[in-house]
Amino acid sequence: MDLAYLRAHPAHLPTFLTHQRLRVTPVAGGDICAAARLTLDDGHSIFAKSWPEHADRPVPESFFETEAAGLRWLRETGTVAVPEVIVALPDLLALDWVEPGEPTPEAAERFGRELAGLHRAGAPTFGATWPGFVGATRQDNTPDDGPWSRWFAERRLVPFLRRSVDNGALRSADVALVEQVIGRVDEFGGNEPPARIHGDLWPGNVLWAADDRAWLVDPAAHGGHRETDLAQLALFGGLPHLDRVLAAYRESWPLTEGWRARVPLHQLHLLLVHTALFGGGYRGAVIQNARAALGRPERATVEE
């Protein structure tokens, strides 16, 4: 099987894997999926991810098809680097292989410019026409004309706050604090038309490659606010050379007044996802960001 054959017959890939007709090298694929580098007969490599055989639940319906739709939607802009989707099946996704590299200031600046181009491509509405996932967890992608502040509160903050209450990750005082943010979200400004965003752009979903570019992987792509992508890049240790990314982005497309103060608000969604999925270990981060969003002393910041 070579790349041309695989593109023409993507449904044959599981058969070739079952009969061990390909060289398979396991690689890191994150916390959710099993992943491998597949070497085809023509020497071409692809990255394949599948649902683990011994997972405690079946693959969520439309999980891989949704990721493929998001990757194609981001890639069609011709802006930021996004792997080509080679195979998209209900239980398997295969992408063109991206050779890993090291982060450099030059790659960071290029990424900032390209990310601005991606966001400028826009979206018809907030949400998307495909189901919503963040990781393997569903979220509401029902298309919505906005405004962004209402959509973000109702579709991104409230559902994961409820899940965080249900699993006992947040206390009543924490819930009241987050509810203050939700109740005031339209006061913080920054409403814009929907941008075309990655949607889960924490640093682990940026792949620094040997071609001296930063590639986007594992999207939760939808129409959203461009500041959400930028704010997420500062989470969990922050992206290397984030200051260069932001400077290049703002040169290409200036951000609206007050964007720094809104960083904690935009980060709150992913932090609530973490309390909903993993429990109280992320409670402190939720409290800190909620207070910062309300303008209280404990602030979460993005580098200049």
List, for residues 251-270, the tens digit of each pLDDT value: 999 999 999 999 999 999 99
In whole angstroms, give the CA distance from residue 292 to residue 303. Answer: 15
Contact 157, 269 (CB under 8 A): yes
pLDDT of 28 reads 84
Instruction: Write the CATH number of the domain with boundaries 3-96.
Output: 3.30.200.20
pLDDT of 301 reads 43
CB under 8 Å to 262, separation ≥6 — which residues?
188, 189, 190, 227, 231, 293
pLDDT of 296 reads 80
Question: Which amino acid type is present at position 266?
Answer: H
CB under 8 Å to 173, separation ≥6 — which residues?
none
Contact 189, 256 (CB under 8 A): yes
Q: How far is CA 258 from CA 47, 108, 126, 295, 303, in A?
A: 40, 24, 21, 12, 14
Under CATH, what is the fold of the domain 105-293?
Aminoglycoside 3'-phosphotransferase; Chain: A, domain 2 (3.90.1200)
Task: Identify the CA nearest to 227 among candidates 203, 181, 195, 186.
Answer: 195
One digit per residue, the tens of pLDDT, for the chain of length 304 reads 899 999 999 999 999 988 877 899 999 876 789 999 999 999 999 999 999 887 888 999 999 999 999 999 999 999 999 999 999 999 999 999 999 999 999 999 999 999 999 999 999 999 999 999 999 999 999 999 999 999 999 999 999 999 999 999 999 999 999 999 999 999 999 999 999 999 999 999 999 999 999 999 999 999 999 999 999 999 999 999 999 999 999 999 999 999 999 999 999 999 999 999 999 999 999 999 999 999 985 544 444 3
Contact 74, 221 (CB under 8 A): yes
pTM of the predicted structure, to 2 decimals? 0.94
Q: Structure tokens of 240? A: 């290397």
Domain locations along the chain: 3-96, 105-293
Question: In whole angstroms, how large is the CA radius of gyration of the chain?
Answer: 20
Contact 197, 119 (CB under 8 A): yes
pLDDT of 287 reads 97
My answer on whether omega of the bond before 147 falls inside 30° of 0, hence cis, is yes
